Amino acid sequence: MRIPDSRTPDPVLPRRLRAAFGRFATGVAVVTAATPDGTPVGMTVNSFTSVSLDPPLVLFCVGRRSRLHPVFAEAEAFAVNVLREGQLALCRRFASPGFDRFDTIEPREGSTGVPLLPSALAVFECVEPQTVPAGDHDVIIGRVAALETAPDDHAEPLVFFGGGYRFLSTEFQWWSAWHS
């Protein structure tokens, strides 16, 4: 087996890598925080994951070129708002260029003081963030200090797959697959 030489960049790699990453379905979330003067900020991410149950840790990634990078890198707390089906417009708003993405949205204040979005499927309020450099991004890890989930057990997540947004259209019963 021949291992590629890492010193010779593959001109196709970024495009192929992005396409391959797109084969992994992810949920969609908006990470929110407040600037030092209290202005709410947020950005759409699909790079959110759980890290640990004890202590309860989650992470998301932010590009160093993002105008919001300094806010998230220096925030004392942040929230991850997991989006549900029907919140595609909200997802696109927080993925758009610009700093003031809240515009007409009135966030509510979480118990940690961070702005929270209405009607999220789940919300994780995080404190004690740690920033870990990783390539052209920073990984931001936070301890979950408060959480909430939507009371609707039938709410479906907004999903990103293959370069587009998707909805779960069928319910899969894991036990039926193992017992058939």
Whether residue 15 is contained in a domain is answered as no
Whether residue 32 is contained in a domain is answered as yes
Tell me which of 44-48, 129-133, 163-167 is least confident. 163-167
Count of the separate structural domains present in the chain: 1
Other CB atoms closer than 10 Å to residue 30's CB: what's the count? 24
Question: Nearest-CA neighbor of 62 among 89, 35, 31, 39?
Answer: 31
Question: Nearest-CA neighbor of 101 among 115, 113, 80, 84?
Answer: 115
Whether residue 154 is contained in a domain is answered as yes
Q: Which domain holds residue 135?
A: 28-167
Total-model pTM = 0.84
pLDDT (tens digit, 9 = 90+) per residue, 113-157? 999 998 999 999 999 999 999 999 999 999 999 999 988 767 888
With residue 126 as reference, give the H or E element that holds it.
strand 122-134
How confident is residue 1, by pLDDT bands cut at 50, 70 and 90?
A: low
How confident is residue 174, by pLDDT bands cut at 50, 70 and 90?
A: low
DSSP string spanning 41-67?
EEEEES--EEEEETTEEEEEEEETTST
For residue 180, what pLDDT is reported? 54
What CATH number is associated with residue 104?
2.30.110.10
For residue 173, what pLDDT is reported? 54
For residue 112, what pLDDT is reported? 96
